[in-house]
């Protein structure tokens, strides 16, 4: 069977939500800087250089807009929690993420990426609480699953689920690098986008 794939093309980098334009519906990817958001986008689209990945955290400063089929969009949000750089930049990115997530009526699912090796950070927990308070539907995507040794997997999975109060079955355990768990995530995205 051919692996599932979400056809995506880069549209633009938007510095505010009103630059995104209308669409039928959209999904968003959020998570701290360096958690693997860009790599995840490349993996779901099966395209290596669609989203720019980086070893240096904090490179995505804008909302990156990707076109999916039939007037659907995928939005890559700037990573939160970037430790370096001017304070005013960090404030601007957080405001940008929050105002984007709050204002888009067409937003139907937020994929909150958490590093499965590092586990949920304070900022991830804050983001989850913020999504909940704002009544935004979200799904947890645990990234870089290949970094876990088989012997430590179940303990790490259990811990992550406990911290975030979610069932393991409700979490997508993925490795963009090894393209593991991506199929299920793609199907979930397609279903929510009505594709
Ligand atoms: N081992 C491993 N590394 C990954 C994976 N996904 C991303 N990375 C690495 O994590 C770093 C940050 O990735 P990137 O996609 O740019 O993260 P972003 O800042 O959230 O967009 C890069 O060095 C990637 O190569 C993965 O599935 N497994
Ligand atoms: Mg990125």
User: For 65-80, how does the pLDDT look when each residue is reduced to its tens digit (9 = 90+)?
Assistant: 999 999 999 999 988 8
- Whole-structure pTM value: 0.95
Q: Cα of 157 to ligand 2 centre, how many Å? A: 24
**Secondary structure of residue 175 in the 3-state scheme:** strand
The pLDDT assigned to 91 comes to 75
The pLDDT assigned to 92 comes to 74
The pLDDT assigned to 56 comes to 65
- Closest residue by Cα to atom 16, ligand 1, is 53
List 143's β-bridge partners, or say none: 115
The pLDDT assigned to 89 comes to 72
Nearest to 97 by CA among 119, 72, 127: 127
Ligand 1 pocket residue status of 144, Cβ below 6 Å: yes
Q: Give the residue ranges of the chain where pLDDT is below 70.
A: 1-2, 55-60, 82-85
The pLDDT assigned to 70 comes to 95
Q: Cα of 187 to ligand 2 centre, how many Å? A: 22
**How many angstroms separate the Cα of 140 from the Cα of each of 13, 20, 66, 111, 179?**
24, 24, 20, 6, 17
Can you point out the beta strands (E) in the chain? 9-14, 25-31, 63-68, 72-76, 107-115, 138-143, 172-173
Q: Cα of 176 to ligand 2 centre, how many Å? A: 13
**Secondary structure of residue 29 in the 3-state scheme:** strand
Distance CA 67, CA 72 (A): 6
Which residue ranges make up each domain of the chain?
A: 9-193
Half-sphere exposure of 131 (CA within 13 A, CB side): 24
The number of the ligand nearest the C-alpha atom of 44 reads 1
Q: H or E segment at 132?
A: helix 122-133
Distance CA 125, CA 81 (A): 12
Determine the residue of 28, 32, 36 to mutate for testing ligand 1's pocket, defined as the one with the most ligand atoms within 8 A of the Cβ atom. 36
- List the 9-14 sheet strands across, edge first: 9-14, 63-68, 72-76, 25-31, 107-115, 138-143, 172-173
The pLDDT assigned to 81 comes to 74
Atom of ligand 1 nearest to the CA of 57: 19
Q: To which CATH superfamily is domain 9-193 assigned?
A: P-loop containing nucleotide triphosphate hydrolases (3.40.50.300)
């Amino acid at each position: 069977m051919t692996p599932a794939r979400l056809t995506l093309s880069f549209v633009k980098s938007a510095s505010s939500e009103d630059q995104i334009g209308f669409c039928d519906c959209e999904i968003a990817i959020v998570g701290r800087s360096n958690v693997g958001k860009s790599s995840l986008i490349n993996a779901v689209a099966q395209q290596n250089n669609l989203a720019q990945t980086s070893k240096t955290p904090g490179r995505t400063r804008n909302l990156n807009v990707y076109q999916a089929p039939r007037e659907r969009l995928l939005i890559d949000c700037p990573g939160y929690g970037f430790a370096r750089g001017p304070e005013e930049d960090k404030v601007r990115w957080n405001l940008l993420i929050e105002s984007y997530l709050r204002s888009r009526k067409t937003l139907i699912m937020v994929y909150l990426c958490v590093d499965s090796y590092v586990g949920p950070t304070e900022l991830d927990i804050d983001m989850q609480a913020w999504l909940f308070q704002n009544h935004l539907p979200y799904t947890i995507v645990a990234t870089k699953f290949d970094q876990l040794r088989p012997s430590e997997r179940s303990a790490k999975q259990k811990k992550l689920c406990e911290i975030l109060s979610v069932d393991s079955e409700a979490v997508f355990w993925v490795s963009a690098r090894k393209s593991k768990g991506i199929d299920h995530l793609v199907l979930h995205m397609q279903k929510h986008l009505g594709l």
